[in-house]
Structure 1
Amino acid sequence: MDDFIAYLDTSEVRPGKLEALKAAMAELSAFVELNEPQIIAYRVYFSGDGSTMSVLNLHTDQASLEFHMKVAGPKFPPIAPLITLRTIEVFGRVSEELVARLQAKAKLLGGGAVIVHDVHAGFARLPRI
């Protein structure tokens, strides 16, 4: 499954915004679960002190990540005042067009870097959806 993609973004939580962010991310997670049946996993994590949030997505292929950006993308702007994005890391092969869309998302959410890690070796045991 060479087309498998893992996506991880990491953000700093703005002071005083943790509870609002937790509520917004719970809502976004529920939306993604309802509207994106092809996504393998969508998980939101907070550091112990609540200063950092990481969002992990697992996709069977690039089309799944593209669909996520299209469907969930309109839900990102209200989150912008709650975080400062540090990085978006993509593990797997993606097009330059998708990288550009991720860079636009990064700019919207605080200007973090987009880092793409191309697959070298390994495997993924994922069911075909």
Structure 2
Amino acid sequence: MEVNHLTLHEYDEFKTYIANLPETGPPVYFFFTGQKKENGRSWCIYCQMAEPVVKAYLNELKKEITFVFVDVGNPETWRNKACPFRTDSRTRLMVIPTIIVWNGVQRLEGSQCAKRELLNMLFEDED
């Protein structure tokens, strides 16, 4: 049992990836964050706070899942009301960071992503 990690950049990579997702297999989770700056950290302060908590949690998780880090772009791209991550009916993002269970209703948004107890509930719901 292990967590399979993947990183996607921008909406087109995300769209291509979900178009090719198999119907069966381990659950897929998407973690939407702001694009990384040259220092390797997101421009989004809430994403910076959530990422180490999420990564530490995933390192301890004993489940077979696919966990996909999705870069939603730079601040200008994200703040645009027409940003495809905001308008896509499958994601409907209002804030970053956001973690969603693909083809599920569960999601964590904003500061919720940095709370271990909420991560626990999100990943346990799949059992």
Length-normalised TM-score, structure 2 = 0.31
